[in-house]
Amino acid sequence: MEPQVGTEVIRAAVQLACRSPSLHNSQPWRWVAVEGDIPTVELHLDPERVLHATDHSGRQALMSCGAALDHFRVAIAAAGWTAHVERFPNPNDRHHLASMTFTPLAPVTEGHHLRADAILKRRTDRLPFGEPADWHFVEQQLRRAVCDEAVRFDVLDDRLRGELAEASRLSESLRLYDTSYYAELSWWTGKFESQEGIPHSALVSAAESERVVINRTFPGASSGERRIGFGPDRAKIVVLSTYDNTGDSVLRCGEMLSAVLLEATMSRLATCPLTHITELQASRDVVGSLIGEPVVPQVLVRVGEAPELEAPPPATPRRDVSEVFEVRHSRPHSGGNDVR
């Protein structure tokens, strides 16, 4: 009889997967391990954690779940298992995003472990970056990481940085009087300690923000200025797009976002995903025109150098795994599930 993955192995992989980035660290996922003759893991979107003022359609929540799905595959591979993914397995439940079964993976290579280690090393770094060294080689690595044909990978020409900055400012100006957006933004960046949201230590000051012109403006950020020697941001800008805006494509784009972030982290580069430019159609259209292809830009990523001797930003908090993970026991003879 072929060995089966254990529940504790799954729990540990889920815990690592939850280090995935999400819009304002909202963590809009639920995981269910179904024990039985063939153990499975289900990934569900938690609709109560969709930020409706910012993410009207739930697209970013779906992309966040896609990133967590890829993180899970990376974590379970390092534990010696291949996850076989069926996306949207239940046509009557669009919140059921994926179901996974498992087969043993042998051998587990150093690469599998390094990629899983990158999950814990990755940070969303909003400070200015230096231009990445050996960019031609790194770009090739990132392109190879985007292995899903539903997702397009582009790097914006540095000469288009001004136009992209204009798109960023356009996104801000269109929300200037959007009180629900700013109320939501203020709540998720509150000064209270929490297992969710963005801590103030992860935000940039007004002076720092002026040197990173392609960014989201957060309220109430601290004063001061770091990385003064880096000057204006010199990051490369990666754009991940899809050819349509279906749920399947957006989920897959989230998976490829995870792949890019982990690949860059393995190359010792800093990253910062950017979604504010693609939240509104007007600014998204600008990004699409810069790419010059009939695609739907979904997410941008700044990729660059951080000071080698600088301590990494602290890890942002995450909810306890018990809040997002449950175990059910399949009872095929009765057709029901026990929840434990």
Determine the pLDDT at residue 222: 67
d(CA 1, CA 99): 22
Contacts of 281 (CB under 8 A, 6+ apart): none
pLDDT tens readout for residues 266-307: 999 999 999 999 999 999 999 999 999 899 999 999 999 999
CA dihedral 263→266→270→276, nearest 10 degrees, is: 20
Backbone torsions φ then ψ of 270, nearest 5 degrees? -90, 150
Which tokens hold the place of 51? 């930020």
The alpha carbon of residue 56 and the mean position of all alpha carbons in its chain are separated, in whole angstroms, by 18
pTM: 0.94
Q: Are strands 29-35 and 325-331 parallel, antiparallel or unpaired?
A: parallel
Closest CA to 237 of 125, 148, 180, 160: 160
Determine the pLDDT at residue 3: 85
- Indicate left, alpha or beta for 115 from its phi (over 0: left) and psi (-120 to 50: alpha): alpha
Share of residues in the chain with pLDDT > 70 (%): 95
Which tokens hold the place of 206? 């007004």
pLDDT tens readout for residues 32-90: 999 988 999 999 999 999 999 999 999 999 999 999 999 999 999 999 999 999 999 99
* All structural domains of the chain with their residue ranges: 7-121+318-339, 135-304
pLDDT tens readout for residues 9-19: 999 999 999 99
Yes or no: say if 235 and 302 are a contact pair by the CB < 8 Å rule. Answer: yes
Yes or no: say if 111 and 288 are a contact pair by the CB < 8 Å rule. Answer: no
Question: Residue 289 corresponds to which amino acid?
Answer: S
Whether residue 23 has pLDDT greater than 60: yes
Determine the pLDDT at residue 331: 55
Question: What does 234-277 look like in DSSP terms, one character per residue?
Answer: --EEEEEEESS--HHHHHHHHHHHHHHHHHHHHTT-EEEEE-GG
Determine the pLDDT at residue 239: 98
Same fold flag, 7-121+318-339 and 135-304 = yes
pLDDT tens readout for residues 140-150: 999 999 999 99
Please check whether the domain covering 135-304 is classified as CATH 1.10.10.60.
Answer: no
Res. 336 pLDDT band, cuts 50 70 90: very low
Determine the pLDDT at residue 241: 98
Share of residues in the chain with pLDDT > 90 (%): 80
pLDDT tens readout for residues 208-221: 888 998 999 887 66
Whether residue 247 has pLDDT greater than 80: yes
Strand order in the sheet with 236-242: 151-155, 236-242, 296-304, 270-274
Yes or no: say if 35 and 49 are a contact pair by the CB < 8 Å rule. Answer: no
Determine the pLDDT at residue 70: 98
Determine the pLDDT at residue 334: 41
Determine the pLDDT at residue 340: 45
Domain made up of 7-121+318-339: CATH architecture:
3-Layer(aba) Sandwich (3.40)
- Mean pLDDT rounded to a whole number for the chain: 92
